[in-house]
Structure 1
Amino acid sequence: MEFMILYLAVLMHIVCLTSNFLVLTTSNAFPGSVAPLCHKDDMSALLQFKNSFTNAPSNPHAPSIPFPRPKVESWTDPNNQTSSNCCSWDGVACDDKAGHVIALDLSSSNLFGSINSSSSLFRLVHLQRLNLAFNHFNHSRIPSGFGLLSGLTHLNLSHSFFSGQVPPDIFTLTRMISLDLSGDLLELRSPGLATLAQNLTNLQFLNLDGVDILSPVPDTLASLSSLRSLSLSRCGVHGVFPESILQLPNLENLILNYNINLTVHFPDFNAISPLRMLGLLDTRLSGELPSSIGNLESLEGLELDPDNCNLTGALPYSVGNLRSLKYLIIRGCGFSGSIPSSLASLTQLTYLDLSSNAFSLQNLSSLSWLWKLTKLGALYLRGTSLQGEIPSSVGNLSRLGVLDLGDNRLSGLVPAELLNLRQMKRLLLDNNELSGYIPSWLSNMTQLTFINLQFNRLQGPVPLWITQLPNLTSLHLCFNQMNGIEDSDLSNHSLTGSSVTLPKLSSLGLASCNLREFPILLQNHPNLELLDLNSNNIRGQVPLWMENIGISSLHSLNLSHNFLTGFDPSLKILPWMNLQTFDITSNMFTGPPPTPPPSANLDTYLAKQNKLSGPFPRWICNLSSLVTLDLSFNNLRGTLPDCLGNVSTSLSVLNLQRNRFSGNIPQLYASGMQLKMIALGHNQLQGQLPRSLANCSMMEFIDMGNNQISDIFPSWLESLPHLKVLILSQNKFHGVIGTPGSLSGFQRLRIINLSYNLFTGMLPEGYFQTWTSMKAIDSLESQKLTYLEARCHFGFYQFYMIMINKGIHTYYPKVLETFTAIDLSENMFSGDIPNAIGDLRQLHLLNLSNNFLTGGIPSTIGHLSELESLDLSGNRLSGQIPEELAELNFLSSLNVSHNNLTGSIPRGPQFNTFTKSSFEGNPGLCGDTISKKCSSPDVEDSPAAVQDDSSWFWEFDWKVVLLGYGSGLAIGFVIENAFNSGKQPELAEAIRRRLQNRQRKSRRISRN
């Protein structure tokens, strides 16, 4: 990608320079000719202009062109008669007759200062071409005097640190042929593109890259029939790009990169289009790539966006007609079908990227035409459904510098013919099924800078020579079948010898290489930026010598999934000053969490599943750049400090579950604005939910389960527009769940778990109607395996949770975006199950067990075609099991036991698989499953339990019960005393037993 950006920038720059200043100075263009005599007034104006500037200070971030030189330093005073002719000065060109300056090229002349509207520059009224590109005008505004230069045809002010609004008088220069204002500081709001198109009707070249436009592209640009090059990258233009511009008769270059809200539809291209370059990186593409693309016979570059490319259908065979193509990028565009063999005709290709498309499965060896494209310098076929072995003919591509065949199904050995690729710098064969040893001939490929062989089936030890390739900066061998480091005893001697000169690796991945200790070879790579040693068998402490590994360069350290117990006692504070990502997940670290240095710009801190103890570390409150914090599954205790609420404006993930924190949950302040996940479950937290959670507008995942929170249902969370998961189980939530505050309440909610609380009243039918994300999802979306996650420095942090599914506490290490679940079990809900629950057609899990629900099972549950688990046990449901439930083809777990159901059990492919336990405790049921034939006389008998007289129970004042529960008293005795004074002591006893059973389950879950 960096290669292409550079390619486009250089090519556009060459185009502009060639068109703008084909003839700059007569003396320079024709060395043997005599320069005309300079007009005295023009000479004076040039000298005054020169004297208004100083040399620009060194600025490593300022863009530049090759071979910059301060041209004005050669300009001399007219008293020096030998140099008094300004027409011979560097960067100056004059007309042949009057000696007036008509062209001035001061690009990259190291000018520093500003130009005001009274500048002597604007006295050069005969100027036709002016180039001030790549200077430093100190963020000043473009002066308004350009309107005085009415003869200007070429103006280039690009990358010169002008800022602010482009002055309107530039749009009065009606003779303008070429205009380049590219950079990142200018604005073009009013007047905008429409005014430009209306006035500058002779434009042939327009480059506004980086200019802040923030408007749609007007149709009037299509009236510029002379336009040859249009570049609007990073302009913030949006809306639909006019197709008519793509059909301009003279348009050769169109670059629209990095306008994420700009939608482009391809028109039918005519056969006479001169289009040479089409750059659509990071724009929105839709529809199909028309076969008429093959008419663009002059096209040299085609780049279709990898992020917003939603094209459909196959890659047209007619692409093979584009025989002038030098680079072709169609990464991640969703093309299907096969890779067309017509690409064999593209013999001028130097860059080919077909990655991440849904091509049909085919052998790499079947692409025989590919190995004949001998001009290729970069080949990317990542994720293109290739299988089989890498053919030996790959060695024909002798100019290849980059080969990426990753994320396919390639097998066999790494072919020795790769040794023919002497210019190879980047080799990526990861995520395949390659086997054998790492070939020793790789040691002769001395130009290699990047090797990625991870996620294959490579065997043997990690060879020492591979780390000694002289230009190697990145090596990734993770997750193969490697067996440690080659001959570690020998390595200790050979690697410490003075005769060995090792490269300066910046990135090293040796995850799951069966390492048993920290590789001693690390001592020879003090400039590491990334080190990944996760999923090995390294035991004991991190050695003291590790402090010298990348002490000022290390950004990412992953030691997760080992058996480490801590750092050397001398390392009180982690030594890596610029650490950004720190991961010690799944180890045996003890004591307080390791402390990073104060200078670290820490982004990600992961210490899940260790044996860390002590209070919440206060130094975390000082991490102003923290995005991801996971201290879950440890033994941390004490209260959470108030400073946690404003630890970082960028905090996205806060996971402290499975510790022993107590006290109230602090309010969230600045951190709440970016927070996507908060998980504080399985602690001993008390009080109420912090109302400041309502300010977390980005929130997607809330898990407060298994605490001692006493509160009512947080209906105020329904204002969170992105909330997808709400887990409040195993707490002391109570009261009636009312109606939604609006029709949009919890619209994105997909998982809700309120189990093991004290909610009363009817089931929340109003919310069933607003949970629209549980009703229907796009069929294409359901096929994508995407997970709930948050972006962080190392990639993505995937959310995880625990829910009861099919009667088992199930750990979900990843949560599918499409997974939907409702668990309202173990509460005190009463009344009927509303028919509206049948509208939640995308439900996978529904658990309403152990409540006091009455009435029948709604037949509308048969509409839940995606349902996998249904638990209605432990209620007072009556009537028959609806036959519609037999149509639930995905239902693999059903429990309707301990109700008052009657009649025959439905038959069907799924129902026939359920055991007797699914229906026990319903004396009125019959069927083969429970060995009670429906022809027996007692089928029609109604159990006495159906005709209970428990309506008085719901008239009881539950405030007494809730007060007892909330104050920590023995709830069973409160209920028993209240009920024994009435007529139903047996019901009180049943509730007491249920709550005691719930407490036992709670303790058991907490221990797990």
Structure 2
Amino acid sequence: MAMDETTVRGLLKEQQDCAETLVQQQAATFQLQFDALHAELQAALGQIQGWHARITEALLDDQVTSVSVTATKAVTSSGGQRQSTPRFGVPSTSTNTTKQALLPTPAQTQTTVNANSKPLAIKWISLAERQERLNKGLCFNCDNKWTMKFTLVDTTYTLKGDASLHIRQQQQPRILDNLPTMSPCLLQTWTPQTDCCKSWDGIACGSHGRVVNVSRSGVFFNEDDDYVDTTMSGIISPFLSNLTFLQLLDLSNLKDLRGPIPPEFGKLSRLTHLFLGANNLSGILPDVIFRSFKSLREITLTRNKFSGQIPSSIGHMISITLLAFSENNFSGIIPETIGKLKNLEYLYLSNNNISGLIPESLGLLSKLERLELDQNKLFGTIPASIGGLVSVRILSFFNNELTGVIPPSIGKLRNIQTLGFANNKLSGKLPASIGHLIKLNEIFFYNNQFNGSIPTSFGNLSNLQYLSLPANNLTGRIPSQLAKLGALQILDLSRNKLTGRIPSQLARLQNLSTLDLSFNPLNLVTLPKWFSKLNLGSLMMAKTGLQGSFPWVLLSSSIIWQLDLSSNCLTGELPPLIGNMSNLMFLNLSNNGFSNAIPSEFKNLSSIKDLDLHSNNFSGDINFIFKRNAQPAEFGFFSSIDLSYNSFSGLLVMSLLWCLLYRNIPKELLNMESLKELDVSGNRLAGEIPVHNFSFPTSAFLGNPGLCGAPLPPCNISL
């Protein structure tokens, strides 16, 4: 039967619907299969990424140990010699210093640095692109769309660039605002167009691309080897603690860096060198940071304003070799835990307010080479355990309140070169065991209460150059064994109770340049002939019982520059040959019985700066000593003159122009009856000119802005 058109169309529609249903069913099946495969691929990719992350971490940990520490050039405060910064123990090995920029974490993308800053616009990139940038060592792209702020301190330097840095998110603190007080040359290499790990001065990265060194010291040399001194103001940012691979942080000598050390620094467990000296930092040291510094080898906090007690947690710094906390306001005691620092080689705690006893545990530091506890408030005795410091070279306890005796165990310090116990209250006899310390160069025991005789064993100290024992209660004779000290340059035994003759054997001391035996009851009568064999530049023999005339044995010396024969019983005239002592700069003959006129040859002492002739019986015309316009200009550079209590007469002309005199004019000067002319112009004198009966011209007082009164204008009197 023939089908009509309507029926045909219906059948075709059913077939078409069936075909579409079949296609949809097949598509759904394919989608399910695709989704399952995609899920499997995603799981596999996630597993691969996990493996990659763990392998990368392991490689980074291995690589970071091979990065060298960068040393920063600097200038010492003495001698003009260059050395590494800071003063104590900076490594001399170096690598090319570079810098790596840092970023905010995602949670910090809207954080503002200050009230005027805008939120940071952050572009997060794919893992593949991030890895590509990591492989290329890029810190920025160059489209300059975003601004980051790298925060070393709270006021810093604006950088522009892509937020897609190659470091990890946990290493991404904020970057900086601006540095208005910092020398522009210090950060001139920090540009967004350059690779921070290759071009930024003061930043160094490891082969893994992580920041290991940040060195922004304020003292360095530029590429032309010129000295550069810079400053940075602000506080240390806690965000530096996100640099978890950091090994060296040097922010020393920036002068106006202030505030505390952030406790977040406890996160820097890989840190080996921390240099923050010569700044304006303050506050109490966070206890927590020292618990984490197990890798730290050197820490310098000198010349700041830190206060409070040194935390006992310093005992956790088991790798430390240098600890420098000098010139701060630390108080309290030295913690006993310091004895746990078995690798410590240098300990500087001088110029603080530290009190209490010297801890017994210090004796456990067998590697310690230098111990400085000067200028504190330490009291009690020096512990016998000090003998355990078998490596120590310098032991310095100056200016404390130590009492008791020096323990005999001091004789165990076989490597000691300097012993400094001056300005304390130590007593008892000097230990003979000191004579065993044959490497000693310097002994400073002055201003204590030592008694007894000088040990003859001191003669064994063949390398000794400085022996300073003044202001004690030492008795007995000067031991002849000191003549064996062939290297001795300075011998100061003044202000003791030594008696007897000076041993003639001391003539062997050909390197001796300074001898001070003043204020000892030696009853010398005169200086022995063998004194002419010495090469002395400074001879101090005040109140040693000298009698008779001026010691002729000194008259042939042209190298003595300082001579003190005051407070003796010397009499007679000064010999004309005194004019041969042409190198004299300081001469003190006061409180003797010298008489008659000063010889005219005295004017040959053209180097004289300090002259004290007071309390003698000198007489005659003194004018030639102060002769003006002579060549060479005799006495043109006096720093001190005392001619009082004599019988000088005649015309006295005193010229003290351009001598850098300061304060006021003593009235005694203008009351000298023999004074006829005076010139004190061109100095720094101030105050009212004393009333006098002379007619000195105004020119005699000009060039002293602070002077007033006749013949100058009257002083302004404030009511």
Same fold (TM over 0.5): yes
* Distance (whole Å) between structure 2 residues aligned to residue 364 and residue 650 of structure 1: 53
Q: How does 1:876-955 map to 2 (within 5 A)?
A: 879-880=694-695, 888=704, 908-909=714-715
Contact 1:562 1:586 in 2 (8 A): yes
Contact 2:379 2:401 in 1 (8 A): yes
Aligned residue number for residue 277 of structure 1: none
* Distance (whole Å) between structure 2 residues aligned to residue 720 and residue 401 of structure 1: 58
CA pair 840-460 structure 1, distance change in 2 beyond 3 A: closer
1:411 to 265, 282, 302: 282
Q: How does 1:128-143 map to 2 (within 5 A)?
A: none
2:324 aligned with 1:465, yes or no?
no
CA pair 397-354 structure 1, distance change in 2 beyond 3 A: farther
CA pair 521-318 structure 1, distance change in 2 beyond 3 A: same
2:550 aligned with 1:685, yes or no?
no
2:648 to 809, 829, 832: 829
**How far has the Cα of 1:594 moved from its partner?**
3.5
Letter in 1 for 2:235: S
Aligned residue number for residue 866 of structure 1: 684
* Distance (whole Å) between structure 2 residues aligned to residue 358 and residue 716 of structure 1: 53
Aligned residue number for residue 516 of structure 1: 380
Letter in 1 for 2:438: M
**How far has the Cα of 1:827 moved from its partner?**
1.5
2:354 aligned with 1:482, yes or no?
yes
**How far has the Cα of 1:603 moved from its partner?**
1.5
* Distance (whole Å) between structure 2 residues aligned to residue 543 and residue 698 of structure 1: 41
* Distance (whole Å) between structure 1 residues aligned to residue 239 and residue 587 of structure 2: 54
Tell me the secondary structure at the aligned position of residue 565 of structure 1: strand
* Distance (whole Å) between structure 1 residues aligned to residue 92 and residue 400 of structure 2: 43
2:465 aligned with 1:603, yes or no?
yes
Q: How does 1:738-757 map to 2 (within 5 A)?
A: 738-739=599-600, 745-757=604-616
**How far has the Cα of 1:439 moved from its partner?**
2.0
Contact 1:832 1:855 in 2 (8 A): yes
* Distance (whole Å) between structure 2 residues aligned to residue 459 and residue 448 of structure 1: 22
* Distance (whole Å) between structure 2 residues aligned to residue 487 and residue 853 of structure 1: 60
Tell me the secondary structure at the aligned position of residue 515 of structure 1: strand
Aligned residue number for residue 511 of structure 2: 650
* Distance (whole Å) between structure 1 residues aligned to residue 556 and residue 273 of structure 2: 47
2:421 aligned with 1:556, yes or no?
no
Aligned residue number for residue 702 of structure 1: 563
**How far has the Cα of 1:472 moved from its partner?**
0.7
2:318 to 443, 446, 451: 446
The higher relative CO (CA closer than 8 Å, separation ≥ 6) is in 2
Contact 1:610 1:634 in 2 (8 A): yes
* Distance (whole Å) between structure 2 residues aligned to residue 419 and residue 639 of structure 1: 61
Contact 1:752 1:822 in 2 (8 A): yes
Give CA deviations for 1:557-600 in whole Å, capped at 9, x if unaligned: 2222333332388x487443332222221222222223444431
* Distance (whole Å) between structure 1 residues aligned to residue 579 and residue 273 of structure 2: 50
**How far has the Cα of 1:670 moved from its partner?**
8.0
Tell me the secondary structure at the aligned position of residue 203 of structure 2: coil
CA pair 585-822 structure 1, distance change in 2 beyond 3 A: same
Instruction: Give the unaligned 5+ runs of structure 2.
Output: 1-81, 96-180, 192-198, 205-212, 221-226
Contact 2:416 2:439 in 1 (8 A): yes
CA pair 365-866 structure 1, distance change in 2 beyond 3 A: same
Tell me the secondary structure at the aligned position of residue 424 of structure 1: coil
Tell me the secondary structure at the aligned position of residue 435 of structure 1: strand
1:525 to 385, 389, 404: 389
* Distance (whole Å) between structure 1 residues aligned to residue 671 and residue 649 of structure 2: 5
* Distance (whole Å) between structure 2 residues aligned to residue 698 and residue 576 of structure 1: 33
CA pair 517-362 structure 1, distance change in 2 beyond 3 A: same
Question: What percentage of aligned pairs have identical amino acids?
Answer: 22
2:588 aligned with 1:724, yes or no?
no
Letter in 1 for 2:489: V
Letter in 2 for 1:539: T
Contact 1:359 1:385 in 2 (8 A): no
Aligned residue number for residue 398 of structure 2: 534
**How far has the Cα of 1:391 moved from its partner?**
4.0
Contact 1:700 1:725 in 2 (8 A): yes
Contact 2:626 2:635 in 1 (8 A): no
Contact 1:593 1:607 in 2 (8 A): no
Give CA deviations for 1:162-194 in whole Å, capped at 9, x if unaligned: xxxxxxxxxxxxxxxxxxxxxxxxxxxxxxxxx
Higher Rg: 2
Contact 1:830 1:853 in 2 (8 A): no
Give CA deviations for 1:798-821 in whole Å, capped at 9, x if unaligned: xxxxxxxxxxxxxxxxxxxxx811
Letter in 2 for 1:831: G
* Distance (whole Å) between structure 2 residues aligned to residue 861 and residue 870 of structure 1: 16
CA pair 460-669 structure 1, distance change in 2 beyond 3 A: same
Give CA deviations for 1:792-842 in whole Å, capped at 9, x if unaligned: xxxxxxxxxxxxxxxxxxxxxxxxxxx8111111122111222x6154543
Aligned residue number for residue 150 of structure 2: none
Contact 1:672 1:696 in 2 (8 A): no
**How far has the Cα of 1:746 moved from its partner?**
3.9
TM-score (norm 1): 0.44
Contact 1:403 1:428 in 2 (8 A): yes
**How far has the Cα of 1:320 moved from its partner?**
4.6
* Distance (whole Å) between structure 2 residues aligned to residue 871 and residue 756 of structure 1: 26
**How far has the Cα of 1:473 moved from its partner?**
1.9
Q: How does 1:837-876 map to 2 (within 5 A)?
A: 837-839=655-657, 841-843=659-661, 857-858=676-677, 860-863=678-681, 865-867=683-685
**How far has the Cα of 1:400 moved from its partner?**
5.9
Tell me the secondary structure at the aligned position of residue 730 of structure 1: coil
Tell me the secondary structure at the aligned position of residue 661 of structure 1: coil
Letter in 2 for 1:909: C
* Distance (whole Å) between structure 1 residues aligned to residue 282 and residue 94 of structure 2: 39
Contact 1:530 1:556 in 2 (8 A): yes
Tell me the secondary structure at the aligned position of residue 564 of structure 1: strand
Tell me the secondary structure at the aligned position of residue 683 of structure 1: coil
CA pair 476-559 structure 1, distance change in 2 beyond 3 A: same
Tell me the secondary structure at the aligned position of residue 620 of structure 1: helix
Aligned residue number for residue 141 of structure 2: none
Contact 2:513 2:538 in 1 (8 A): yes
* Distance (whole Å) between structure 1 residues aligned to residue 686 and residue 500 of structure 2: 40
* Distance (whole Å) between structure 1 residues aligned to residue 634 and residue 266 of structure 2: 52
Q: Which deviates further from its counterpart, 509-518 or 617-626?
A: 509-518
Q: How does 1:172-251 map to 2 (within 5 A)?
A: none
**How far has the Cα of 1:707 moved from its partner?**
1.5
**How far has the Cα of 1:345 moved from its partner?**
4.6
Tell me the secondary structure at the aligned position of residue 826 of structure 1: coil
**How far has the Cα of 1:469 moved from its partner?**
0.7
Contact 2:410 2:434 in 1 (8 A): no
CA pair 436-396 structure 1, distance change in 2 beyond 3 A: same
1:427 to 283, 299, 306: 299
1:635 to 487, 497, 501: 497
Aligned residue number for residue 614 of structure 1: 476
2:388 aligned with 1:388, yes or no?
no
* Distance (whole Å) between structure 1 residues aligned to residue 687 and residue 616 of structure 2: 21
Aligned residue number for residue 504 of structure 1: 367
Tell me the secondary structure at the aligned position of residue 684 of structure 1: coil
CA pair 680-568 structure 1, distance change in 2 beyond 3 A: closer
Letter in 1 for 2:404: G
TM-score (norm 2): 0.60
* Distance (whole Å) between structure 2 residues aligned to residue 411 and residue 700 of structure 1: 46
Q: Which deviates further from its counterpart, 686-695 or 727-736?
A: 686-695
* Distance (whole Å) between structure 1 residues aligned to residue 533 and residue 282 of structure 2: 48
CA pair 459-697 structure 1, distance change in 2 beyond 3 A: same
Aligned residue number for residue 98 of structure 1: none
Aligned residue number for residue 522 of structure 2: 661
**How far has the Cα of 1:716 moved from its partner?**
5.1
Aligned residue number for residue 624 of structure 1: 486
* Distance (whole Å) between structure 2 residues aligned to residue 872 and residue 714 of structure 1: 37
**How far has the Cα of 1:449 moved from its partner?**
0.9
Instruction: Give the unaligned 5+ runs of structure 1.
Output: 12-313, 325-342, 777-818, 895-903, 914-1008
Aligned residue number for residue 184 of structure 1: none
Q: How does 1:975-986 map to 2 (within 5 A)?
A: none
